[in-house]
Amino acid sequence: MIAEAADTFVLIIDTAVMWVQILAAAAAFVLCVVCFAIGPLVTPAAKAAARRAVGPSWARGRLGARMYVLTRLRRSSGRTRPPWVHTQPLDYEEAA
C-alpha cells in the first residue's frame, strides 16, 4: 500500500513537472512571436532616437563629417550637359 502511494505521488509530481514544462514552452513561443512582431515596429523609432541623441551626423567626428559631405548633393555651378552628349567639339570638317 505504501509503495502504491509513493508511486502515485511520484506520478503526480512527474505530471506536474511535465505541465510546467509544457506551459513554459508555450509561453516562450508566444513571447518569441510577440518579440518578432513588435521588433520591426520599435527598431526604427529606437534608431531615430539614438541618432537624435548624439546630434547631427557631421558632428559625430571626422569620418561622420566626410560621409555627410560625400552624401550631400552639390549644387550645380551652371547648366549641366546630359550624359549622352559627347565631349567632342561640334565641327564636321573631318567628316567631309
**Is 60 exceeded by the pLDDT of residue 96?**
no
State the Cα–Cα distance between residues 40 and 16, nearest whole angstrom. 37
In the predicted model, what is the mean pLDDT of residues 89-96? Answer: 60
Q: What is the pLDDT of residue 49?
A: 83
The whole-number average pLDDT for the span 59-84 is 68
Least confident residue range of 1-15, 29-43, 45-59: 45-59
Cell triple for 46: 529606437
In a domain, 89, yes or no: no
pTM above 0.75? no
Number of domains in the chain: 1
With respect to residue 61, please indicate whether it lies within any of the assigned structural domains: yes
User: Is 85 a domain residue?
Assistant: no
27 inside domain: yes
Mean pLDDT for 36-41 is 90
Q: In whole angstroms, how far apart are CA 38 and each of 14, 33, 35, 49, 50?
A: 36, 9, 5, 17, 18
User: What does the H/E/C string look like for 12-40?
Assistant: HHHHHHHHHHHHHHHHHHHHHHHHHHHHH
In a domain, 94, yes or no: no
pLDDT at position 94 is 59
Full domain range(s) for residue 56: 2-38+48-71
Residue 25 belongs to a domain: yes
Q: For position 13, what pLDDT does the model report? A: 95
Domain-located, residue 76:
no
Using CA atoms, how far residue 72 sits from 10, 69, 75, 81, in Å, is 72, 5, 9, 21
Whether residue 24 contacts residue 35, with contact meaning beta carbons closer than 8 Å, is answered with no
- Is 52 a domain residue? yes
User: Has residue 47 got a pLDDT over 90?
Assistant: no
Average pLDDT over residues 48-72: 72
